[in-house]
Amino acid sequence: MGYGRVVVTGIGIISSIGIGVDEFWSNLIAGKSGISAVESFDTSKYENHRGGEVKGFNPLDFINETKIKNTGKTSQFGIAAARLAIKDSRLSIDSTISGRMGAIMGTTMADSQRLEEMDKVWIESGEKEVDPALISQYPGNSISAAIGFELGLKGVVSVIPTACSAGNYSIGYSYDLIRMGKMDAMLAGGSDSFSRVAFTGFNRLFAVAPEKCQPFDKNRKGMIVGEGAGVLLLESLDNALNRKAKIYTEISGYALSCDAHHMTAPSPDGISKVIKKAIKNSGIDPDDVDYVSAHGTGTLANDKAECQAIAEVFKERYKKIPVSSIKSMLGHTMGAASAIEAAACCLAIKNSMVPPTINYETPDPECDIDCVPNRARKYDVRVALNNSLAFGGNNACLAVRKINS
């Protein structure tokens, strides 16, 4: 069986800087911050109180009212982003395509808020008072299952829980399914809603900045916890051409690797290896890369290690390649992060515009890349790489390119 080409024909975004591709992109290139005071729960006992929460999200815009009670917020985000991607692509899901179309989603926390609710009721009122509906919403597989059920998808439906790299993993797996002829179209991405567990965990790791995320800045103080969802509609090139779909970009390849080094500390060697593998698997040359969407969390260790890896891969070119972190605007959206960043890569190519790294104030000699400081830049992007680096050393790098390249 030969391998077919895979393209992106739809984008759906739920984020702290916008719902839908147009609002998201306009605010992204404007350098708008989505960081605000946390409203999901009381943070008075924490040292930090800010996060990248989604404002103005109404699940009734995407889900029937009768289903909302049985759908956790992470799944709601996932359904909403999937519907937006379908709408953007103008794909009609009929009986012909439904059996050849699926959904692969990534996540870190899934609907962990439901577990928090169960624990609270159990402790305060006893186990018999726990709503059974909460139990069915907690497992991570509920995200893709909810999307499949909502849209009538009968193909491959699964969840990949590789934390901060999960979105890229999901896009990569979906790409494989289509190019090998097993599926005609896939909804691929990631979703995570704001979680007390994640907020507490990162605060206890002393990895959270008090006010703002400053990737690559000498005085960076850490990451900011965020939430959201990003979904790409992937199709075989033949399918997209047959229905005369608009095409954002082509997926040219991806790579995965494990550092086998440390549960939380990144390895420059592991990062450089996954970037090199993605370049090789895509059939491109390092000199072809025009833009890198960095993992760029704003922590001291991550940013330094990622910059070292970029320098190792691109040699004397590394200071000339635009490398930005949109987490400076969104915060770290966990399992949604690399999916939203993949969407940003597609839009950067489509619009010949590179998003900025905001909050950049003081250069760091150990992060001497071109981080596109504070302002978006008009730039002809033909090939973009999307880095994602998760706890446990689970790395993924996705390559996308202009369809005519």
Contacts of 299 (CB under 8 A, 6+ apart): 207, 220, 222, 223
Instruction: Out of 307, 332, 345, 346, pick the active-site residue.
Output: 332
Active-site hit among 213, 295, 345, 397? 295
Distance, CA of 114 to CA of 119 (rounded, Å) = 9
The first and second tokens of residue 42, run together, are 């009381």
In angstroms, rounded to a whole number, what is the distance separating the alpha carbons of residues 108 and 278?
23
Q: Is 295 a catalytic residue?
A: yes
Strand 323-324 relative to strand 291-293, pairing:
parallel
Residue 49 bears catalytic tag: no
| E runs forming strands in 144-271 | 157-160, 185-192, 228-236, 249-258
Closest CA to 101 of 192, 177, 33, 49: 177
- The two tokens of residue 357 are 């790294």
Can you state the angle between helices 73-89 and 142-151, rounded to 10 degrees? 40
- Helix or strand (DSSP H, E) at 301: helix 300-314
Catalytic residues: 164, 295, 332
